[in-house]
């Protein structure tokens, strides 16, 4: 089969090594008591350890360059995977990288923040613990730069816009080809959902392709009441941008909200158990903020009977491992310290 192309061609700056692998995880499937589990390895997009963020940045950086930008501003927390990947992508594309981060400068620079520094990013801290403080600060900074004749391009949190989400419509087409080659018709695709862009793109892609599966997002930052309308709006806007000619309704938006744990950026006991299980069974390295909680959601949904054990399932590994390496203080031998923040 030949991968189906997007109907609309968007500006693009190539960064990723595609397609990413899709492979069986037989030992993890056996541990969970399910017939077949496939792992979509978007942690292996091949650029700066950026995972799913790399696909989105191809289109977002492409749009920035097409608009004549000379500066890329990204917002998030000190351990944001999206910010770190954006800072490296900006340097590669010849744009000045600026990270607007909530909170105060930490005493040490580890994990993603270390990579921001190595990329030469300018770090701007809002001095406020509220992660919502980053967008207004970025807007003020962009206005100041514009007054001096610069041309900044501000990325929304997580790159969650129809332009960024188009990357995951393309990823759905890639997955469609791979599933056909493996003779697999899954009932569900499980993915971590934070800013909602990855799931929204996958939903639009699944409806466009007439996929056998539903896309279920395990919520890691937002409430169900906030995430569902946001997902529906993003999926519809992405489909409209790409002229997919499909109708996306509430029935296409599935979320699981029982695995957030103490909150966004905070490790959870369920996530830690899932992290250890995936590592022991398949050598998969998950991060405590996104993928570990998504895996915990998969484990829990299987245990509760809300998804079938006898039909193949797909887990999208969206990456984010560098955030784990800044979290050594959270872990002692065999023990999770759930009070520890991971500042994503």
| Residues tagged active-site | 80
Residue 217 parent element (H or E): strand 214-219
Helix, strand, coil in percent for the chain, rounding step 5: 45, 15, 40
Query: Contact 220/293 with Cβ under 8 angstroms?
Result: yes
What is the chain's alpha carbon radius of gyration, rounded to the nearest angstrom?
A: 19
- Assign 197 to helix, strand or coil: helix
The CA distance from 155 to 111, in Å, is 21
Strand, coil or helix: what is 187?
coil
Residues 6+ apart with CB under 8 A from 314: 22, 37, 38, 39, 40, 175, 179, 186, 188, 189, 190, 213
Rounded to whole angstroms, the Cα distance separating 89 from 62 reads 11
The C-alpha atoms of residue 12 and residue 41 are separated, in whole angstroms, by 22
Q: Where are the alpha helices (DSSP H) in 67-161?
A: 81-93, 111-118, 134-147
The answer, yes or no, to whether the previous bond of 194 is cis (omega within 30 of 0) is no
In 3D, which of 10, 142, 13 has the Cα closest to residue 75? 142
Q: Of 258, 215, 221, nearest to 238 (Cα)? A: 215
C-alpha closest to that of 59 among 165, 216, 215, 178: 165
């Amino acid at each position: 089969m030949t991968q189906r192309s997007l109907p609309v061609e968007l500006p693009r700056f190539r960064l990723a090594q595609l397609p990413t692998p899709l492979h069986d995880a037989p030992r993890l499937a056996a541990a969970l008591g399910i017939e077949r589990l496939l792992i979509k390895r978007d942690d292996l997009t091949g650029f700066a350890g950026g995972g799913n963020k790399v696909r989105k940045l191809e289109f977002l950086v492409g749009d920035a360059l097409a608009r004549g930008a000379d500066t890329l501003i990204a917002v998030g927390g000190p351990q944001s995977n999206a910010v770190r990947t954006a800072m490296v992508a900006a340097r590669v594309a010849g744009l000045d990288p600026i990270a607007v981060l909530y909170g105060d400068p930490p005493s040490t620079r580890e994990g993603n923040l270390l990579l921001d520094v190595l990329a030469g990013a300018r770090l701007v801290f809002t001095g406020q613990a509220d992660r919502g403080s980053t967008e207004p600060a970025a807007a003020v900074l962009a206005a100041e730069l514009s007054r001096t004749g610069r041309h900044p391009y501000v990325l929304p949190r997580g790159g969650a816009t129809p332009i960024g989400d188009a990357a995951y419509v393309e990823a759905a087409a890639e997955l469609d080809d791979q599933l056909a080659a493996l003779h697999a018709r899954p009932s569900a695709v499980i993915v971590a959902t934070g800013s909602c862009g990855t799931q929204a793109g996958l939903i639009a892609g699944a409806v466009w392709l007439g996929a056998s599966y539903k896309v279920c997002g395990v919520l890691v930052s937002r409430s169900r009441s906030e995430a569902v309308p946001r997902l529906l709006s993003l999926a519809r806007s992405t489909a409209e941008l790409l002229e997919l000619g499909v109708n996306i309704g509430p029935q296409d938006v599935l979320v699981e909200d029982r695995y957030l744990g103490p909150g966004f950026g905070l490790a959870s006991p369920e996530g830690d158990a899932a992290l250890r299980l995936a590592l022991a069974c398949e050598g998969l390295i998950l991060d405590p903020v996104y993928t570990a909680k998504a895996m915990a959601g998969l484990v829990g949904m299987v245990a509760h009977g809300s998804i079938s054990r006898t039909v193949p399932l797909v887990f999208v590994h969206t990456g984010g491992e560098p955030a784990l390496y800044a979290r050594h203080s959270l872990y002692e031998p065999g023990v999770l310290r759930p009070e520890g923040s991971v500042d994503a």
